Each structure stands twice: as structure tokens, then as C-alpha cells.
Amino acid sequence: MDTVSHRRTRAHLDWQLLLVSYMLAAFGIINIAIASYDPDKGTNLSLLNYIVNSNSASWQSIFTLASLVVVFIAIAIPLDFYKARARLFYYAVLALLVVTLAAATAVSGINAWLKVGWGRTIQPCEFAKLSILLMLARELSNSEKPMGTFREFVRISFLFGIPALVTLAQGETGTVIVMGFMFLVMIFFSGADIRIVLFLITVVLLAVATLFGYALLSNSTDYRILRILSFLDPQKYYNSAGYQILYSQMAIGSGRLNGIGMFIVGSISQLDFVPEDHTDFIFSSLGEAFGFIGCCAVILMYMYLLIRLLYLARFTQDRFGQLIIIGVMAMLFFHFFENIGMCVGLMPITGIPLPFISYGGSNFMTNIIAISLAVNAVKSRTSSTRVIFQEPMRKRKRHRRLRKQEA
């Protein structure tokens, strides 16, 4: 093996993934403080005091500090342990999803939060993304030809479908879309027959087209339908579902090139014109405070994180580890793409948070554990020059040759 190949495939602790993730997390705490800024608690304070004065920013700081312990444990546990216990984790989270569906109190038509005491809640559907990721990586890595039989196709589809349906019943449509995207990407890179991948994509596109068609033809007042209609024509739904999109665009536009600055009295963020501007719509607060330059800086950090994951997956030998990294990349990519897209009006509102930046303990812990799993997969490498993108292509070419010979 030459020196370049050895350097690319060697086992190591990839600190770059962790560094960029925590840079985004630190920036997220600042933006949460900006979005929840209350001038009655004081002005011209230090940044630390602004954070302490914000309940949401204070809690996000606690989540971030606590995550350091979680990261250490997640990386220290051998990767084989996750593979051996993936089924147990999957069924435990599935049971938690069912309990949440039965016991949670609905908030705005969504019953996805389970009370855990001290006035805090957890969102099990966030951890369901991790359980699906681990279970799919385990099952797909165990087969030379994933989903090669109808029975295996149904079994693997159910592994994704059951938790997705329970999550959908909770009202978390956005999370289900993330799960579905992650499922399709992992199936593709696992080396499954391209016809299966195309079939699944066709089913998804038909479902989306049906949903849009139903939204256009119906007079339903369901919030999910209104979100689609407001995406198509936000001005028409200014007083309802379109309000959030329009004011989000206004906040981002008002930032112009350099932004208006942090903790400005009378800003759109401070006056709470954008609902949920510290959670799902935090990108609007970011755009207003830091402008186009700040938005570009954040987007570049996300792009670096995603490209780094793709690079690490390419030069990871173990298929279980490869698919974990690919699943993490797919999950973060869709969150990043959809959240920024809905904040600027290019995508429908789905309630998907911005990774590491939006407020929320369950989502933050899910994302940082996902990054830790990717780091663990790289740390557990063994030397090999086989790469994830070449191997599935070889399999597909080999299968095509066999089919031609049989014909």
C-alpha cells in the first residue's frame, strides 16, 4: 500500500468533525441568546450575561457541556458493541415512541414530547433516527447483496417503516422525511440493486406529488396542508401559515451584507415577529444579526462537515462503519438543506431544526452522538484500500454481467 493510501485509510481520531460541530454549537448558543433577547433584563451587557439572562441559551449551554461526557463515552465504546446491540436499542426506542404517542400531551397538534421531570421533556423521535441508522447499518452490512430477495426487501423496509409510521402518528412529518431520506441514501450506498433504489424513489415522489395535489384541491385546515399551500403562495396565507415564511425572509433580508448586530432593541428577532426563531427558524435570527457574510460562514462550516464525512466514508473499510458515516451525513445534510430552505422560502415548513444551532436538547444530543459514531467508525478502521463508492459499482457491474450471461 502506498503512503497516500495508508494516510487516507488509517485509523485515527478525527478531531475535525468534533471541532466544527462544537464551533457550530457555540455559534448556536449565541444565536439562541439573540433570538430570546429581553432588553428588560439589561442592555450593554457582556456576552456571557446575555447568555445567562436567556433561559433557552442557558439550557443549550448545559446541553453542550454535558455532551462532552456523552461524546467521550460514545467514542470509547467499541464499534462492534453498537453492531451487537443495535437491535436492542432499536426496540427500546420503538417502545419509547409508542409510550410517547399514548401518554404525551399534544402541543400544536403534535404529541412528540415526553415529560421526564424538572419541567423538562425529551423527544424520542429524535433518537429514533439513531436507532434506524444503527439497525440499517447492521442489516445492510451483513448481506453481500442487500435487499436481494423480496423477503429481505420487506424486512428491511419494515425496519424503517414501523418507527416512521409511529412518528408520523405523533405529527412529526418533518422527522419522518429525514428518516426516509436517510433510508434511501443508505440503501443506495449499501450496494443494493439500482432498480430497488429507483423503485423506492419513485414511490416517494408519487407520495409527495399526491400530497401536493391534495393540498391544492382540498379545503382542509390541517396545519400540514396549510404549510404546503403557504409555501406555494405565502402572501395568500399572510395571516396564518404564510406569516412565518414572510417575516423570516424579512429578518434575513434586513441583515443585508454585514448584519444589524447582536442584541439590538427593536429588531425583528427581539420583537418576536418570527415564531420559533430560537428553534426551527433560528436561521432568520442569524441572518438578521450577522447578515449575508454570517450566513455564508455557517453554510461553509456545514459544507465542510458534510464533505469531510463523505471523504471519511470513502476510505473506511468496514461496511458497518461506512454505512454509519453515510447515514450521519444523510441525516445532517437533509436537516441543513431543509431548514435553511424553509427559512428563505425555498422549501415548505416542516419543523426541522438546524443541526447544532437550533435550541433543543434531544436534537442536539442526537446530532452530537451521530458525529461521535462517525468518529468511532474512523477510529475503528483497519487498513484497506477498498472504498465505499467503488465497491457497490463493482457489485452492480458484476450483477449486470451475470444477467447478460444468463440471458
Contact 89, 373 (CB under 8 A): no
Determine the pLDDT at residue 212.
73
Determine the pLDDT at residue 171.
83
Domain of 253, in residue numbers: 3-406
d(CA 271, CA 265): 8
Q: What is the pLDDT of residues 277-307, one digit of tens each?
A: 899 999 999 999 999 999 999 999 999 999 9
Poorest-pLDDT segment among 122-131, 227-236, 271-280, 395-404? 395-404
Helices 15-35 and 282-314 sit at what angle, rounded to 10 degrees? 170
Instruction: Name the pLDDT band for 374 (thresholds 50, 70, 90).
Output: very high
Percent of the chain, pLDDT > 70?
A: 88
d(CA 56, CA 276): 12
pTM above 0.85, yes or no: yes
Q: What is the pLDDT of residues 382-394, one digit of tens each?
A: 754 344 445 555 5
Helix (H) or strand (E) holding 375, with range, is: helix 361-379
Q: What is the pLDDT of residues 312-326, one digit of tens each?
A: 999 998 899 999 999
d(CA 368, CA 395): 33
Residue 252: all three cell numbers together: 434575513
Contact 208, 382 (CB under 8 A): no
Contact 289, 262 (CB under 8 A): yes
Helix (H) or strand (E) holding 116, with range, is: strand 114-117
Q: Above 70 in pLDDT, residue 134? A: yes
DSSP state of 204: H
Determine the pLDDT at residue 381.
79
d(CA 154, CA 159): 9
Residue 245's alpha-carbon distances to 108, 238, 272, in angstroms, are 18, 9, 14
Residues in the chain: 407
Residue 114 φ/ψ, nearest 5 degrees:
-115, 125
Residue 77 φ/ψ, nearest 5 degrees:
-70, 130
Helix (H) or strand (E) holding 121, with range, is: strand 120-122
Residue 389's alpha-carbon distances to 144, 229, 306, 370, in angstroms, are 15, 39, 16, 21
Helix (H) or strand (E) holding 120, with range, is: strand 120-122
How many domains in the chain? 1
Residue 363's alpha-carbon distances to 66, 174, 391, in angstroms, are 14, 13, 33
Write a three-state SS string for 27-66.
HHHHHHHHHCCCHHHCCCCCHHHHHHHCHHHHHHHHHHHH
DSSP state of 234: G
